[in-house]
Amino acid sequence: MTCADPKKDEHNLIYKYKQYLLFEKSLSPHTLDAYLHDIEKLLHHLSTQGKSPLDVRLEDLEHFLASLHDDEIGPRSQARILSGIRSFYRFLVIDGYIEADPTLLLESPKIGMKLPEVLSVEEIDQLIASIDLSKREGQRNRAIIETLYSCGLRVSEACNLRLSDLYLNEGFIKVEGKGSKQRLVPISSRAIAEIMEYMTDRAEIDIKPGHEDYLFVSAHFKKRMSRITMFHIIKVLAEEAGIKKTISPHTFRHSFATHLLEGGANLRVIQSMLGHEDIGTTEIYTHIDAQRLRSEIIDHHPRNKRKG
């Protein structure tokens, strides 16, 4: 009688979990890699304790979280890792490997709410106006910023936007978000105008095969723009425009949502536009609006005005 190989069993378990994430949860490759990396961290820790993932108890997981703290991994990263661990143990329960989920009573690390940086409409206009249109990438960069701000896109969604996703005559674009979920998002006439101007420059690029349908392409590499390139472009543009805030492509998504809320848009509408599955994710913008309201009261109420 041969003994079972624990390493082989773990390998099969991870393989089945990966299939579950791919086909049942429809996670993006980036999120999938993150979840699997989280499990690798846990399995390595358990191996040092002589434990199997199927025999884990609450105190084992608490010890694992304590080890992350000892490794100087911050609360936000700990919470993300814990999210992956919870997903793994939900899978084990669903597939009948274990009867009870040991993560149910596991407390998440305390995370202070960090409100995202937001640009004013004037700052966005300032940034766009500062773009040098004499450079071959100038009009493309204007189109990128207008599209990010007009539609509230994630950077990955902007990079993956295709010509076949544009319904400019109807005033909509089709966006593929997290988990390959698609949504229709209205696009402003200003963004449409910037895209149409950019199309003239784009037509002069000898785009590599397989990249012809992507909207935003690199004139230098002649292919779809990467997330890193788009991050770099916006960092440089902000510096050139004299904007002191630390911004990224995601800043325009936050600004989009905040300005909608300030303009009176319903939170459910904003949730739909952003492609948030959980309304709780969208509710951070109510905190931003409350913070702005408090600032207005302090600045304008006679009891709060400072003397002199």
- The mean pLDDT value of the chain amounts to 83
Stated pTM of the model: 0.59
Do residues 241 and 130 touch, judged by C-beta distance below 8 A?
yes
Instruction: Return the pLDDT at 278.
Output: 64
Distance from C-alpha of 175 to C-alpha of 184, rounded to nearest angstrom: 6
In 3D, which of 265, 262, 246 has the Cα closest to residue 295?
Answer: 262
Question: Does the annotation mark 69 as catalytic?
Answer: no
Domain ranges of the chain: 6-94, 121-297
Note the pLDDT tens digit of each residue in 4-17: 555 667 788 889 99
The DSSP H or E segment spanning 185 is strand 182-186
Question: Does the annotation mark 276 as catalytic?
Answer: yes
For 223, the token pair is 């292919």
Instruction: Return the pLDDT at 273.
Output: 78
pLDDT tier at 59, thresholds 50, 70, 90: confident
- Average pLDDT (45-61) is 87
Instruction: Return the pLDDT at 280.
Output: 62
Distance from C-alpha of 195 to C-alpha of 191, rounded to nearest angstrom: 6
Tally the C-alpha atoms within 13 A of residue 290's C-alpha that lie toward its C-beta.
6
Instruction: For the domain made up of 121-297, give the CATH fold.
Output: hpI Integrase; Chain A (1.10.443)
212 pLDDT more than 50:
yes
Distance from C-alpha of 165 to C-alpha of 213, rounded to nearest angstrom: 9
Question: Does the annotation mark 11 as catalytic?
Answer: no
Of the two residues 190 and 5, the one the predictor is more confident about is: 190
Question: Does the annotation mark 250 as catalytic?
Answer: yes
Dihedral pair phi/psi, residue 31, rounded to 5°: -70, -40
Question: Among residues 18, 178, 183, 211, which one is catalytic?
Answer: 178
254 pLDDT more than 90:
no
Percent of the chain exceeding pLDDT 90 equals 40
Note the pLDDT tens digit of each residue in 64-108: 887 887 676 777 788 888 888 999 999 999 999 999 999 988 887
Distance from C-alpha of 239 to C-alpha of 246, rounded to nearest angstrom: 9
Question: Among residues 140, 142, 224, 253, which one is catalytic?
Answer: 253
* 6-94 under CATH 1.10.150.130, yes or no: yes
Question: Among residues 86, 140, 154, 224, which one is catalytic?
Answer: 154
pLDDT tier at 294, thresholds 50, 70, 90: low
Q: DSSP letter string over 108-174? A: PPP----PPP---HHHHHHHHHTS-TTSTTHHHHHHHHHHHHHHT--HHHHHT-BGGGEETTTTEEE
- Average pLDDT (23-29) is 81
Question: Among residues 41, 45, 250, 292, which one is catalytic?
Answer: 250
Question: Does the annotation mark 285 as catalytic?
Answer: yes
Do residues 234 and 247 touch, judged by C-beta distance below 8 A?
yes
